[in-house]
Structure 1
Amino acid sequence: MEACLDIAVNSASFAYGEDTVLDNIKLEIPKGTFSALLGPNGAGKSTLLKVISGYLEPQQGEVLVCNKRVHSMGDRDRSRLITYVAPEYRSSFEFTVEEAVMMGRIAHSGSIMAQSPLDLEAAERAMLATKIIHLRDRPVTSLSSGEQQRVQIARAICQEPSVLLLDEPTAHLDMNFELEVMEILRQLVKQGRTVLAIFHDVNLALRYASTLFFMKQGKFVESIHPDGISPEIIEKVYGVEARILEDPAGKIRCVVPYSIARPPGLPRA
């Protein structure tokens, strides 16, 4: 029996002018899973997330989310299925934290002004989950980068989508909040949500994701279970030599880079 897919990218390509960023991408992500998108800067990770979310339309191929063509849907219908969390908070308005989180309910209510008791409860739960309830009346622009990131994640939770797409969700976060955000995402997956997130920290992805997708130069080069991580994959994707270590209990694997890889035939220093 085939797994129910929440995300299916079928031969999608995208270019900015003549610069090809995504080249014939094929991707399938089952419902209720936590997947990590990894790779060096400029690999096409953020562009792929924007294509899946509907912000960008591929020049070739198609994207299905919950068996629906993303780019044939209206904005409100799409927002009920998908939420996209950018790496940085951007707004031209002085919203309070609570107002920013409540924006996640527009997909359901149609307006930030039409707040039902259910909307208010959803916002309260999201702020409690991300530990920003004490900031609810503060302007978002007055917060630190890490606090703003938690506001964005709270807004995404408040939206109650089937699929969460997150571009570096742990950027700007201290270690404790970094782990708390990852635990929040893990709980959302346990509730049946599907999470696809970009990470620069391979070790964080190894600890929490069930599948790692590695990109390089607009293409997928590896798709593995965390147990399949190897020095060869790290060198192939990032161009660095690394060791793979395990804790004594064998539950957490860790990538330790130690040298830039030499081109074939070049002797070591």
Structure 2
Amino acid sequence: MGDSMIRAGLGISVSNVRFAYDGHKILDDIKLHIPKGTFSALLGPNGAGKSTLLKVISGYLEPQQGEVLVCDKRVHSMKDRDRSRLITYVAPDYRSSFEFTVEEAVMMGRIPHSDSLIGSSARDIEAAERAMLATKIIHLRDRPVTALSSGEQQRVQIARAICQEPEVLLLDEPTAHLDMSFELEMMDILGQLVGQGRTVLAVFHDVNLALRNASTLFFLKQGELVESIHPDRISPEIIEKVYGVKARILEDSGGKFRCVVPYSLAGSTDTPRETPEGRSGPETPQVNEGGFPVWLS
């Protein structure tokens, strides 16, 4: 299949990308292709290269080799303003040191579309309102960002990204600092954006969150893409290969929920803990409606 056929309908195309810091290999021959209007997850242990790959795709870092296309455009050949209209990148652990209000910070997402530092057109204001409502920070609009908690600041970052109205959202740990309720709400928000035709690629440390929300899982290890699978193909072998831990994959009888439960390091002789009845769990134990093993509830 020719490159033109492969790239047709792709939101993100990464071809043979290599990246190094001071000669130290971070990414090695990465190839991945993500269709438009889909939600994909980047997974892997610490230091695997996940955040670096997001930065390369965003255009923030330029690879020493390879090519990145976003919506059929060469990312590293684009002007900054044009790239910002196409892509938004949300970094982890963002903390503002400036006394902007929440509304001002969210409105910064309109800068690529406006000639002023803080956009003020009717469309800009409407986009900011929608983003603040979606992320439930409208009541904080006049508060300084510096006065917010880490979780609230994360919501401001997500709202700014939504306000930017990009075609592609690159999110590094989008649920960092969020409580359980808003973590699920955030996944719903991202799902709605995908439903509108946007492409989402997010880094997750929580494999189970990715399993339940992404359509494709990309696993990195030591700078290499080692697995690219549909969530239904998750297996103990993949978890051990990528993370070096033994795990069980639990699911309900209808296959609606799946859950990865690690129980020991690879090479250990530990076995999964028994059920309350004193028996080892069945081959495919049931999980409750929240997606958790029944004996953990």
What TM-score comes out, normalization by structure 2 length?
0.87
Q: Contact 1:102–1:112 (CA<8 Å) still a contact in 2?
A: no
Equivalent residue for 1:61, pick from 66, 75, 78: 66
Distance 1:149 1:220 in 2: 28
- Corresponding residue for residue 122 of structure 1: 127
- Corresponding residue for residue 269 of structure 2: 268
- Corresponding residue for residue 247 of structure 1: 252
Distance 1:115 1:240 in 2: 52
Q: Give the CA deviation at 1:231.
A: 0.2
- Do residues 181 (structure 1) and 186 (structure 2) align? yes
Of 163-172 and 90-99, the range deviating more from structure 2: 90-99
* Aligned alpha-carbon RMSD (Å): 1.2
Residue correspondence of structure 1 range 43-58 to structure 2 within 5 A: 43-58=48-63
Distance 2:204 2:64 in 1: 26
- Corresponding residue for residue 198 of structure 1: 203
Q: Contact 1:95–1:139 (CA<8 Å) still a contact in 2?
A: yes
Q: Contact 1:37–1:196 (CA<8 Å) still a contact in 2?
A: yes
Equivalent residue for 1:71, pick from 68, 73, 76: 76
Equivalent residue for 2:150, pick from 145, 148, 151: 145
Identify unmatched segments of 5+ residues in structure 2. 271-297
Name the aligned partner's letter for residue 42 of structure 2: L
SS at match of 2:69: strand
- Cα distance per residue 1:137-187 (max 9 Å; x no partner): 111111111111110000000000000000000011100000000100000
- Do residues 207 (structure 1) and 208 (structure 2) align? no
Equivalent residue for 2:93, pick from 88, 91, 95: 88
Distance 1:110 1:217 in 2: 42
Of 248-257 and 210-219, the range deviating more from structure 2: 248-257
Equivalent residue for 2:42, pick from 33, 37, 43: 37
Q: Contact 1:53–1:82 (CA<8 Å) still a contact in 2?
A: yes
- Corresponding residue for residue 136 of structure 1: 141
Distance 1:114 1:186 in 2: 27
Equivalent residue for 1:19, pick from 24, 46, 49: 24
Of 188-197 and 2-11, the range deviating more from structure 2: 2-11
Q: Give the CA deviation at 1:114.
A: 3.9
Q: Give the CA deviation at 1:93.
A: 1.6
- Do residues 102 (structure 1) and 107 (structure 2) align? yes
SS at match of 2:120: coil
Distance 2:218 2:68 in 1: 17
Equivalent residue for 1:10, pick from 15, 30, 35: 15
Instruction: Indicate the structure whose relative CO is greater, using CA pairs within 8 Å and at least 6 residues apart.
Output: 1
Name the aligned partner's letter for residue 239 of structure 2: I
Structure 1 stretches of at least 4 aligned residues deviating more than 3 Å after TM superposition: none
SS at match of 2:112: helix
Figure out how many residues of one structure are paired with residues of the other and give that number.
265
- Corresponding residue for residue 154 of structure 1: 159
Equivalent residue for 1:112, pick from 109, 117, 131: 117
SS at match of 1:58: coil
Identity of aligned residues (%): 82
What TM-score comes out, normalization by structure 1 length?
0.96
Q: Give the CA deviation at 1:88.
A: 1.9
- Do residues 230 (structure 1) and 235 (structure 2) align? yes
- Cα distance per residue 1:29-82 (max 9 Å; x no partner): 000000000000000000000000000000111111111110111111000100
Name the aligned partner's letter for residue 130 of structure 1: T
- Corresponding residue for residue 169 of structure 1: 174
Distance 1:136 1:114 in 2: 16
Identify unmatched segments of 5+ residues in structure 1. none
Distance 2:254 2:36 in 1: 30
Judged with a 3 Å threshold, the aligned counterparts in structure 2 of structure 1 residues 150 and 113 are, in CA distance, closer, same or farther, namely closer
